[in-house]
Structure 1
Amino acid sequence: APELERKSSQESSSSSEKGDVITPWDVSAEAATGVDYNKLIVRFGVKKITDDLVDRLERLTGKRAHPMLRRGMFFAHRDFSQILDRYEKGEPFFLYTGRGPSSRSLHLGHLLPFFFTKYLQEALDVPLIIQMTDDEKFIWRSDLTVGESKKMTKENMKDIISVGFDPEKTFIFQDFEYMCPPFYENIVRIWKYVTGNQARSIFGFIGEDSMGKAAFPAIEAAPCFASSFPHIFKGRKDIGCLIPCGIDQDPYFRMCRDVAPRLNSPKPSLIYSKFLPALQGSQCKMAASDANSCIYLSDTPKEIKNKINKYAFSGGRPTVEEHREKGGDCEIDISYQFLTYFMEDDQRLEEIRLAYSSGQMLTGELKKIAIEEVTRVINEMQSRRVSITDEVVDLFTSVRPLKYTF
């Protein structure tokens, strides 16, 4: 219900009982095991993704669910079942996700939603819209010029395209370069229907913040509406939207869901991911501002090996003897956590969990496996990225109809 969504939005910018902080700009957890996602489900008013929902997705698409969905990395949703209803009835909808450029190269945490979105695009066979919020980063970072933000965005787009999206089904745009009249009209409508008090309670803005910060959320919300892209959806307002994203982005879209009826459009549905932890531990997520906390797409195999060996927080015991006796703690071990995201073989992952938690496998052995898996993922991305030229970027960003008829 809208009232619940508004209430939850107000809570989103504050700390939880345990000290967890989850906002679009800051994520930190008090416990060594990371964010308490069960409490977050209650606090944000979202629904947990159940086995029944995953089974229904597999049944409708005829494809096995993505490992990150089967293992609970994508853990919560808003109205995902309604998207499956649309799919079952043959009613149109599209995918929408995005990225705010914060470094010249994306890191693994940035890439997770895109890996999952690629699976959704292939399984559901629907159009995909990717927004690059270069304007947001310029507003929030005092050290950044417009030109620098646009350059970072171009590099980030090449990283994203390297995931393997289909250019016939994908439109990528950066805010500084795409703003057609219907898109701007939707932004202005959102501005009109969301009060300053609502924006402050949802996002925590204060009087010293620039006016641009208060104005920006409408720009991220506007792509939820098909009418913002007339070259693709021909002005239709009845087309649904599914947004895969991190749970920290929820405040934007709860606001959007509140105003959707006033734009004569369906409320967007969302499917939320957990955070990929920093190398130093699950109390914070990977951050581009700290090179030692993350694995970049541009890292070499040697850099990946050194970072994991040196910085990856271990769930092992202080001595080999104690580790053999008591076993390691997979819940706080970053090398194991990385494997849960990137190792495709469920049986092998379970074997590793049992071996490490029983003390049979030592931390050094676990780190070696994690290094191999992460290096494999990065190498595959880098091999594809070599062929992503400026012309390829121009293809994805050109204003054109996609493969679908509306």
Structure 2
Amino acid sequence: MKIDPWGSVRIEDYSKLFDEFGIARFEGMLRKLPDAHRLMRRKVIFGHRGYEMIVDAIVRGEPFAVMSGFMPSGKVHLGGKMVMEEIIYHQQMGGDAFVAIADMEAHSVRGISWRDCERLGVEEYILSLIALGFKPEGHIYFQSKSRTIQDLLFELGCGVNFTELSAIYGLKSDTKISHLTSVLAQSADILQPQLEEFGGPKPTVIPVGADQDPHIRLARDVANRMRMFFVEAREGYISIRGKDIDKKMLEKLEQMFDCKSKLYEAHLDLYGDYTLDEVDRIVREFEIKLGGYGFIPPASTYHRFMSGLTGGKMSSSIPESFIALTEPPESAARKVMRAKTGGRVTLKEQQELGGIPEDCSVYDLLLFHLVEDDHEVEEIYRECVNGKRSCGTCKKLAAELITGFLKDHQDRREDARLRLKEYEVVGVI
């Protein structure tokens, strides 16, 4: 199974992501969260990597961050809204929020001009993000205008080679250097919240669609690679191994622990009551004093893709397949009324056999975005599969709700335009 962040691959079997890429099922996180998001409760967010540490931070009221980004290559649609909602949810739960406008990626991969990157970044993405509830204390920036990202990108590039990127992304030998640079810029985006200027190492979650997992895997690998020390639990003790560290540094590190220890040329073993997390925290603090980063591998959540209104995956090249947050509400309503459903050929067959909501773009609209009440969504599902609900009924409901949502959202976007200066977006004067 190949996952391409820049392709138009439609994932038919999400279970393969668990088996082939090591993504964990999200269901186990639900009972631990004090207030799970709608997309989590409805299993739209289906998988994660390392999200346990985010749950712990939320429950304990400890620092954590949320980060994701948007490539400004066209109109923002409902798929982008999902990511925005996930960012805003984690910000509301206490996370320090970071949003990248990935103009380097748009310019190098899609050929979008810098001027259009800035225009689309502000007009399409940033205004909608603010309209949906993003708070001013969050961080919004354009990759190409952030000196912090440029510096971190360069440092990360010292530890990654083309062969590794090719293995992760399936890149060919004719891949442009600027494309490779934009890939590393995304790792810099993901790790930036853990820099000292933003409070140092902390659990960080990256909400993405499943097709973006290669970026997560690279960033997690790079985070480990940038460490100066490796901490691991052994049977009866904890071992700390230095990376290109002389014995004198290990001697200084040894003095920070009040327990029995044994020092070797390249590693230090601890025997005592320290937990692995406690040792790792102390080692990270020591590493930062030496000029290191002490990165924690980032966590991630993965959401399912909405069905395109015309069937298959949403595509920017097929306007009828998606609903943009900036398009006229009447246009969106017309698209809904023409959308592909999971209904039967005739009303009689629908009543006898029931519909197939799992194969219905209109039901996806209701499930993902338009109906807040979980019980109402469940009732719609039951009535559909039992043949008690027609496709026309759902279409009319969805058309009415999308019209109302877009009118309200576009009013909020105009208010966001007036408030834009509150947000100090890096790259926008």
In 2 relative to 1, CA 131–118 (structure 1 residues): closer, same or farther, beyond 3 Å?
A: same
Tell me the equivalent position of 1:7. none
Q: Structure 2 counterpart of 1:223, which letter?
A: D
CA contact (8 A) 2:63 2:94 kept: no
Instruction: Give 1:366-405 correspondences, 5 Å limit.
Output: 366-389=394-417, 392-398=419-425
Which runs of 4 or more aligned residues in structure 1 lie more than 4 Å from their structure 2 counterparts after TM superposition?
226-231
CA contact (8 A) 1:205 1:214 kept: no
Q: Secondary structure of the equivalent of 2:48?
A: strand
CA contact (8 A) 1:190 1:259 kept: yes
Q: Structure 2 counterpart of 1:295, which letter?
A: I
Tell me the equivalent position of 1:172. 140
Tell me the equivalent position of 1:92. 63
Q: Does 1:254 align with 2:217?
A: yes
Tell me the equivalent position of 1:76. 47
Give the alignment partner of residue 131 of structure 2, picking from 143, 154, 162.
162
CA contact (8 A) 1:28 1:35 kept: no
Tell me the equivalent position of 1:146. 114
Tell me the equivalent position of 1:331. 358
Q: CA RMSD in A?
A: 1.9
Tell me the equivalent position of 1:137. 106
Q: Structure 1 counterpart of 2:327, which letter?
A: D
Q: Secondary structure of the equivalent of 1:288?
A: coil
- Equivalent-residue separation in structure 1 for 2:116 and 2:51 (angstroms): 37
In 2 relative to 1, CA 152–46 (structure 1 residues): closer, same or farther, beyond 3 Å?
A: same
Q: Does 1:277 align with 2:307?
A: yes
Tell me the equivalent position of 1:402. none
CA contact (8 A) 2:220 2:297 kept: yes
Q: Secondary structure of the equivalent of 1:278?
A: coil
Q: Provide structure 1 residue ranges, at least 5 long, that are not aligned to the other structure.
A: 1-15, 400-406
Tell me the equivalent position of 1:106. 76
- Equivalent-residue separation in structure 1 for 2:100 and 2:222 (angstroms): 20
Q: Structure 2 counterpart of 1:73, which letter?
A: V
| CA positional deviation for 1:323 | 1.5
Q: TM-score, normalised by structure 2?
A: 0.79
Q: Does 1:44 align with 2:13?
A: no
CA contact (8 A) 1:107 1:288 kept: no
Q: Structure 1 counterpart of 2:87, which letter?
A: T
In 2 relative to 1, CA 397–228 (structure 1 residues): closer, same or farther, beyond 3 Å?
A: farther
Tell me the equivalent position of 2:33. 57
Tell me the equivalent position of 1:6. none
- Equivalent-residue separation in structure 1 for 2:80 and 2:213 (angstroms): 16
| CA positional deviation for 1:89 | 4.4
- Equivalent-residue separation in structure 2 for 1:152 and 1:338 (angstroms): 24
CA contact (8 A) 1:27 1:248 kept: no
Q: Structure 2 counterpart of 1:171, which letter?
A: H
| CA positional deviation for 1:27 | 3.4
In 2 relative to 1, CA 325–350 (structure 1 residues): closer, same or farther, beyond 3 Å?
A: same
Give the alignment partner of residue 347 of structure 2, picking from 307, 310, 320.
320
Q: Structure 1 counterpart of 2:173, which letter?
A: G
| CA positional deviation for 1:226 | 4.2
- Equivalent-residue separation in structure 2 for 1:201 and 1:317 (angstroms): 44
- Equivalent-residue separation in structure 1 for 2:113 and 2:351 (angstroms): 54
Tell me the equivalent position of 1:186. 152
- Equivalent-residue separation in structure 2 for 1:293 and 1:22 (angstroms): 21
| CA positional deviation for 1:176 | 2.2
In 2 relative to 1, CA 398–321 (structure 1 residues): closer, same or farther, beyond 3 Å?
A: closer
| CA positional deviation for 1:345 | 1.1
In 2 relative to 1, CA 299–204 (structure 1 residues): closer, same or farther, beyond 3 Å?
A: same
Q: Provide structure 2 residue ranges, at least 5 long, that are not aligned to the other structure.
A: 227-293
The Cα offsets for residues 68-98 of structure 1, whole Å up to 9 and x where unpaired, read as 1001011100110022223444442211111
- Equivalent-residue separation in structure 1 for 2:328 and 2:318 (angstroms): 17
Tell me the equivalent position of 1:213. 179
Kindly tell me the number of residue pairs found equivalent between the two proteins: 357
- Equivalent-residue separation in structure 2 for 1:365 and 1:161 (angstroms): 33
Max Rg structure: 2
Q: Structure 1 counterpart of 2:29, which letter?
A: L
Give the alignment partner of residue 243 of structure 1, picking from 206, 209, 213.
206
- Equivalent-residue separation in structure 1 for 2:424 and 2:175 (angstroms): 32
- Equivalent-residue separation in structure 1 for 2:391 and 2:202 (angstroms): 50
CA contact (8 A) 2:333 2:402 kept: no
Q: Structure 2 counterpart of 1:262, which letter?
A: R
CA contact (8 A) 2:144 2:150 kept: no
Tell me the equivalent position of 2:3. 22
CA contact (8 A) 1:315 1:329 kept: yes
CA contact (8 A) 2:206 2:300 kept: yes
Q: Percent identity?
A: 28
In 2 relative to 1, CA 88–187 (structure 1 residues): closer, same or farther, beyond 3 Å?
A: same
Tell me the equivalent position of 1:403. none
